[in-house]
Amino acid sequence: MKGCRRTFFLLAVLAFFLTAPPNAFSAESTVTLEAVGSSNIYGGNVSRARELAIEDGKVATVEKAVAAQLPVESLIQNFQVLDEILFSDTDDFIQGFKVLTEVKGKDAYRVLVRATISQDLIRKRLTDAGIMVGEKPMPRVLLFLTEQKIGEPAPQSCPAQNAGSRMPAAAAAMARALKARGFTILDPEALGRELSVRSLSCQPDFVNTEAAAAARSLKADIVVVGKTKAALAANTMGDQIRSFSGEVEVRAIRTDTAETIAAVNEKAVVTGTDQAAGSRSALTDAGARAAAALATEVLATWRAEKVVEPVTMKVTGTQNLGHFVMFRRALAGIQGVSELQTREMRADQATLVIKYDGSARDLAEALLRIPFEAFGIDIAEETENRLRVAFISK
């Protein structure tokens, strides 16, 4: 029974992660969340079913808190680690809880639990595991490297042209090394397809803005672009043993600013008897070295940045769903709004969490400038990052 509940629990966590955007909640030390817990009633033991339902509800609140901290790609990539450090004993993160309501059904018991979760402790566990940097998830990275093999006059390997083919040796080595350091590596073929859609050439020297725009559409934080090249080195040993060199020249570009935040050039030389194997080995070694150097530079920048506190907005009057849909659409279209999530919906109230490049007051002023034909809005500023909005009938 325990194994079945565990399997269901992990699947439920993943299902929630796949629908919840990253960083939905604030960087406050705690968060209070509600969740439904349930348990089957076995052998008429209602008391035990109630205990298990409460435990299930508490676990669900921790799931929500963790889902708000990380992007889905990072959750999928690190799911086994998350199971070990977070989900094996969720009581570690619960500072207090209350059963809001409960019901005994024919075969099951269900409860609605409200729990206060320590976000600080969750972030500390994630940081210790290398999955977060301070209060930020590790960056999501796209690799776009061309590969020029021995004897080729120009690079012949490109994600846009080789969908389904094996990743170039240096790129594969960089992906493994960066993943081992906690970075989330996105599908390089997706970037290749995006570049094709945008009619961009398969070259590593396109301008930063083009690379950033293509990678940003795929939810990457950083795109690594560059070229790799294998060559015959001068040294030999007899007629059989040759030396092969591999060179990797890459730069890391932030997708939000198109700024280059790191650039490295690494080389490696190996020996062997087979040209294909030797060149692949040299590129692999050079790729691993480039990843190590790049990671150091990127993380130095990533750690130094301040986390942007999202704006929490409580909206009343949402019983008129049409008005709420129009309001939400207008809010999403405001310049500077990069992420918008409906965190909670009640009968006549909704809670929104907005990632906005500016203050809550700036966002309020931007909303006031929007003419809504069917209704008006009244805005009150509760705290520095919290707004309350009420719909007004015309």
CB atoms within 10 A of CB 190: 18
CB atoms within 10 A of CB 120: 14
pLDDT digits (tens, 9 = 90+) for 251-293: 999 988 889 999 999 999 988 888 888 889 999 999 999 999 9
pLDDT digits (tens, 9 = 90+) for 106-119: 899 999 999 999 88
**C-alpha span between 132 and 27 (Å, rounded):** 13
Q: What is the pLDDT of residue 168?
A: 81
User: In percent, how much of the chain has pLDDT > 90?
Assistant: 27
The number of helices, as runs of H, and strands, as runs of E, in the chain is 11, 15
Distance of CA 323 to the CA centre of its chain: 31
Most distant pair of Cα atoms in the chain: their distance = 91
Using the Cα atoms of residue 283, residue 284, residue 289 and residue 294 in order, give the sign of their dihedral: positive
**Does domain 139-304 bear CATH number 3.30.160.150?**
yes
**C-alpha span between 116 and 93 (Å, rounded):** 8
pLDDT digits (tens, 9 = 90+) for 42-78: 999 999 999 999 999 998 888 888 877 777 777 777 7
Fold that domain 2-136 belongs to in CATH = Dodecin subunit-like (3.30.1660)
Listed in order, the ranges of the chain carrying CATH 3.30.1660.40 are 2-136
Listed in order, the ranges of the chain carrying CATH 3.30.70 are 311-393
**What band does 212 get if pLDDT is binned at 50, 70 and 90?**
confident
Fold that domain 311-393 belongs to in CATH = Alpha-Beta Plaits (3.30.70)
Q: Beta 311-316 vs 386-393: how paired, if at all?
A: parallel
Listed in order, the ranges of the chain carrying CATH 3.30.160.150 are 139-304
CB 309 within 8 A of CB 27: yes
Beta partners for residue 244, in sequence order? 232, 270
